[in-house]
Structure 1
Amino acid sequence: MYKKKIKHNNNYKGKVLLISMRFVEKQAKIEDAVYEAIEEIADEIGLNIPHYPEVYWVGKNFDYDSLGFTQEVRTSGSLFDDEYNAIFIGDDHLIDISEESAHFLHFANSGFKHVRVPDDKLHFFSLNTWVETLGFLGSKFVCPERRANYRGKDLFFMQKEKKERKLAQIERKYGKDIAEEFYKYQQAMNIGEAIYFSYLQGKTTKKFIRELFKEDFSQVTPFEALCFLKFSYCPPKDESVLAKMVEAVRAKTKQH
C-alpha cells in the first residue's frame, strides 16, 4: 500500500509538471501572437507603440487572485483591461488576439480611460460602440476575412418603438444577452467593416484611421464622433431620413 501510494504521488507530480509546462508553452505562444498582432496593426496604419501590455493566457485554472486581479476582469473570454494594461486571452483564436491588440493600441494612443459606471447612458453607449468599432476595424488588418455578424435591418435609423420591438424579437429568439449586445455590435461591426473596405478602395487614408485611434474626445463627444462615422460610412438610403437624424444629433448635442 505504501509503495503504491508513493507511485501514485509521483505520477500526480509528473502530471502537474506536464500541465505546468504546457501552460508555460501556451502562455509564451499567446504572448508572441499578441505582440505580433500589435506590431502588424501599428505598422499598417502608422501608429506608435508607446509601451506593451501584459499578456495572460486564461486557461481553466488561471489564478486571478494570486495575481491581484479584481472580479471585474474575470472572464472566460478575451478582453483588454486598460486599468491593468493587460490583455487576457481566453480563446486561442486570431480574431480574439487581433481585436484585443487593437483595443490596446486604441487606449494606448488615445489616452482616455474607459468609464465603467456611467451617469450618461448615451455617452456610455457611444463610447462603448466607438471602442468596439476600432477593435473590429483593427482586427481586420490581421484577419481580413473576418465579417460583421450582427446584420439585419439597421437599428440606428429606426424609430424608438420599432427598435424596441426588434430587440424584443431578438431576445425571444436568441436570449437576453444577445439582445443587450446586438445594437452596439451591429453598429460597431458594420461601421468598422465599411471603413475597412473604404480603406482598401483608397477612399479612406491611413492618416484618417490613425486619428480615429488617437481621438481623446477633448473637442467632440463620443456621440458626435460616432454619428459622424455612421453618417459618413453607413448612411440611410433615404436622404430625408439622414437630414432628420442630423437635426436630432444637433439637438442632443446641445443638451450635452
Structure 2
Amino acid sequence: MSLPHWIIIPVHNRRVTTRACLQRLREQGIFGKAIVCLVDDACTDGTREMVKGEFPEVCIVDGDGNLFWGGGILEGMYHAHQQDAEVMVWLNDDCMPLPGAIDVVVARVLETRGICGGICHDPAHPEVLTYSGTRSGSDAMVCPGSGETEDVELINGNLVAVHRDVVGRIGFPPGRDLPHYGGDSVYSLRATRAGITCEVHGDARATNPPNPYFDRFGTSKPAWLLLQEPFRIGSILYFPTYWNFLREAFGWRAYLRWPAYFIRFAKQLAAALGRQFSKPSSSPS
C-alpha cells in the first residue's frame, strides 16, 4: 500500500548537494514515513546513478532538462497526486530540515488541509533568516516562534507541505508560466485568495544558504552577461516570469508596475558597465 505522504525534490546537476539532502532524510527516518520523489531534470553529472545505487528506495521522475524548479515541482506533484498522495512536500535539495521539521508541516496541513511552510536559516550565519514567507505588501519575511504559526500570502518553496485538497480547489502550481522564480509565491497567493490556509510554522526549521544569484547583479556580473538574463529561463530577470508574476499578483495594476522591471534592469546594467569601464587599464610602460 502506498504511503500517503510524498517528498518532492527537483534536482539538476548538484550530485553532492542532492546526496547530502537524501542522507539527511534517511537519518531522520523519513524514508519509512513518506515516499521520497526525486524529479531528475536530465542530470548529466551522475546524480541519477548515485541515487539508484545509494538510495534505491527513492522514486525517480524523469524531466527533459527544461523543467527548472517550477516544472519539477509540477511534475512531482502530478505524479504523487496520481498515486493518491494525501500530502505533498516541496523540498529543495540544498535545504536541510532539522529533526521533526517535515513532520511538523505534514501534521499541520493534515489539520488545516491547506499549505504550511518552514523557516530556513543560513547555515554559516544561523541568525540570518533566508527563507520563509511574506504578507502582501511587505518584503519582511515572517519568523514565528516555537509553537506559533503566521499566515502568509507569499511563501518560499524551500520546505512546504501542500494538502491534496489544495490541488482539488486551485489545481497544480503554474510550472509552465513560472518555470523557476515566482511559482511558489503565485501558488500560495492563489490559495489564500481561495480561502485556503497558508502559513509558516515556527517549529519547522531548516538550514538553507541564501541564493547567491540574488546578490550577483550589479556587483560582479559583466555587462555582456547581464544582457542575456531577460532571455534565460532560470534567471530572476527572465521577463516572461516577471510579467506573469505581476499579472497574477496585481491584475490590471501590473501595467503600472511593469516599468519598474526596466528601471531595475537599467540600474543593474549601468552598475555593470560602471565596473567594467572603471577598471584601470594596463598599458605598457
TM-score bracket for this pair, using the shorter chain length: 0.3 to 0.5
TM-score normalised per structure 2: 0.31
Q: Normalized per residue, which structure has more helix?
A: 1
TM-score by length of 1: 0.34
Give the structure with higher Rg (CA).
1
More strand by share: 2
